[in-house]
Structure 1
Amino acid sequence: MRAQLDHRLTYTYNAQVSLGEHRLCLRPRGQGHQRLIEHHLAVTPQPSHSHDLLAASGDAIQRVRFLGSTDELMIHASSLVETVLTTPLLDCFNGLEPPLPYPRGHLNSDLQGALEGWLPNGQHDPSAVELAQDALMGSNQQAIPFLQQLMEMIQDRVKYTQRHIGPAWPAGRTLRERVGSCRDLAMLMVECSRTVGLPARFVSGYHLADPAPESYDLHAWAEIYLPGAGWRGFDPSAGCEISDRYIVLATSSKPALTAAVSGTFSGPPGTRSELSWTIEASTDHDNSASAFKDVVHAA
């Protein structure tokens, strides 16, 4: 699938402010099952300094700095992306699907960080361990049935809802509240997968659903590392492995590091910011376009 994406964000301030350094995760992934054909980024006011960097996750990140003052920050990312269908997982395993729990010592040491728990001491949330054990018991301790069973249990125990503001919740809160956004469900799947020895990380990107919805927003899902198949995406909000209609922007063990835009500003006491954004997408599959716009407030 080939997709044209236009993502615009506008921050307005009720007073003149000085902008601090900003970190932008708006460049789609350009390797693996996704090819970046074109990408253009426009920032107003013009940054005094800009540089690209390769994040620990392998994603392309841009950092920008500013001089002077402004009452508005506008960012426009335009990308042309091509995605391909992945090889079916069973074909990757060739009958040797890894049993669970997967031995930590059998993994490449580069993956150890994707097994850490989210509690301050590095331990896993007990409620996530319990959910993972329930899914494990119903999957004959095989990786693919486990992940499918886990997604079904997440959907059964947590009601999906949209929540545009705030960080992803930890697994315990999502299970306790029994409600969560796509990023909350993604975090829950990441935590549960790690408890059985499967490296997992948080993903931010776009899901270009078919048929196209009336509005698009950023979406979040999980990537699980399966020995023999590599990193593969799973969407607990939809209850399935991702398709070629998912476009990755950024991945990380820490959801905050996948934010499309993060940064600071300083101004007079009581200065408020307001964010509005639109996401427009068209694909060669359906020749459709859709846009989303909303407004949120932050102190």
Structure 2
Amino acid sequence: MLLSVDHVTRYRYDRPVRGVVQSHRLVPSTFDGQRVRDWGVTVTDGLAGGAFRDGAGDRVQAWTVPGPVSEIEVRVTGTVETVDLAGVLRGHRELVPAEVYLCDTLATQADAALAALAARALGEDGPLAMAHRLSALVSDAIAYVPGTTTAKTTAAEALAQGQGVCQDQAQALIACARHVGTPARYVSGYLFASDGDAPEAAHAWAELFVAGLGWVGFDAANRCCPDDKYIRLGSGFDAVDAAPIRGIARGNGQEILDVEVAVRQVQQ
């Protein structure tokens, strides 16, 4: 499938700030399931800094915007050719061992309720079957209801209230997987949403490490493994660590954030 992306993030400040520094993970991953045809990132008045590929295989680009700054627009445009690999991250080069992703974060710590949910997925039919059961259990336990959580909601909090968005479902799945000894990580990207899909073009899911297969994606929000409707950007321990844009503004101005994302299928 050939997918086009138009992703605009606008930052406005109620009073000018002295400058802004950002770190971007906005370039699609390189693996057998996707190939970039063309891709570009622009930042209003931005100066591109150093770029590198980190140990997890993600491309990281630094940007600086000198002040005074009242508004910044980060625009991402491009097309990506995707192939359905049934969620398997095949051909992705990275240096970090999978066991690193057994480490918990504040957002993905398993409380008693998450531990009990994870225990229900255990069985004698192998790690892949267990991972599928675990994803289904999280889908059942946390209903997809936009606007019911915030960016700071933890996996335990989302499970307690029984609803959330893709970020909450992914972090709950990660917390459960790690609790039973399965390395798991958070993935940010895009989704070409069709009928019945969670309608978030900017999307997130989890990857669990399955012996014999490697990293396998699970999207609890849509009860599936990522296919050719998905574009993978990057990964991390949780939503904050895998955020496509991270940064800091120097000054006391209040930040107002606005995000628009459109993913479309292109005729090949």
How many angstroms does 1:215 deviate by? 6.3
Residues 225 and 232, structure 1, Cα contact 8 Å, conserved in 2: yes
How many pairs does the alignment contain? 263
DSSP-derived class of the 2:67 partner: coil
**2:169 alignment partner AA:** L
Sort the Cα spacing of 1:124 and 1:17 in 2 relative to 1 into closer, same or farther, 3 A. same
**1:81 alignment partner AA:** V
Question: Map of 1:1-299 to 2, 5 A cutoff?
Answer: 1-47=1-47, 49-86=48-85, 110-118=97-105, 124-136=110-122, 139-163=123-147, 166-167=150-151, 169-211=153-195, 216-267=200-251, 269=252, 271-284=253-266
How many angstroms does 1:11 deviate by? 1.2
Residues 203 and 223, structure 1, Cα contact 8 Å, conserved in 2: yes
**2:26 alignment partner AA:** L
Instruction: Between 148-157 and 75-84, report the one with greater CA deviation.
Output: 148-157
Percent identity between the two aligned chains: 27
Residues 218 and 224, structure 2, Cα contact 8 Å, conserved in 1: yes
What is the rounded CA distance, in whole Å, between the counterparts of 1:182 and 1:237 in structure 2?
Answer: 5
How many angstroms does 1:67 deviate by? 2.3
**1:281 alignment partner AA:** V
Residues 160 and 182, structure 1, Cα contact 8 Å, conserved in 2: yes
**2:85 alignment partner AA:** T
Residues 42 and 77, structure 1, Cα contact 8 Å, conserved in 2: yes
Sort the Cα spacing of 1:262 and 1:163 in 2 relative to 1 into closer, same or farther, 3 A. farther
- Larger radius of gyration between Structure 1 and Structure 2: 1
Residues 34 and 80, structure 2, Cα contact 8 Å, conserved in 1: yes
Sort the Cα spacing of 1:212 and 1:7 in 2 relative to 1 into closer, same or farther, 3 A. farther
Sort the Cα spacing of 1:9 and 1:67 in 2 relative to 1 into closer, same or farther, 3 A. same
**CA deviation string 1:158-194 (max 9, x = no partner):** 2222249843533322221212211111011111112
Sort the Cα spacing of 1:252 and 1:207 in 2 relative to 1 into closer, same or farther, 3 A. same
Q: What TM-score do the two structures reach when normalised by structure 1?
A: 0.78
What is the rounded CA distance, in whole Å, between the counterparts of 1:44 and 1:61 in structure 2?
Answer: 18
DSSP-derived class of the 2:187 partner: strand
What is the rounded CA distance, in whole Å, between the counterparts of 1:109 and 1:260 in structure 2?
Answer: 19
How many angstroms does 1:123 deviate by? 7.2
What is the rounded CA distance, in whole Å, between the counterparts of 2:106 and 2:5 in structure 1?
Answer: 36
Alpha-carbon RMSD across the aligned residues, in angstroms, is 2.9
Higher relative contact order (CA 8 A, sep 6+): 2
How many angstroms does 1:147 deviate by? 2.2
How many angstroms does 1:87 deviate by? 5.9
Instruction: Between 235-244 and 170-179, report the one with greater CA deviation.
Output: 170-179
Greater than 4 Å deviation, 4+ residue runs: 211-216
**1:110 alignment partner AA:** P
What is the rounded CA distance, in whole Å, between the counterparts of 2:114 and 2:73 in structure 1?
Answer: 40
Residues 39 and 79, structure 2, Cα contact 8 Å, conserved in 1: yes
What is the rounded CA distance, in whole Å, between the counterparts of 1:219 and 1:169 in structure 2?
Answer: 16
DSSP-derived class of the 2:105 partner: coil
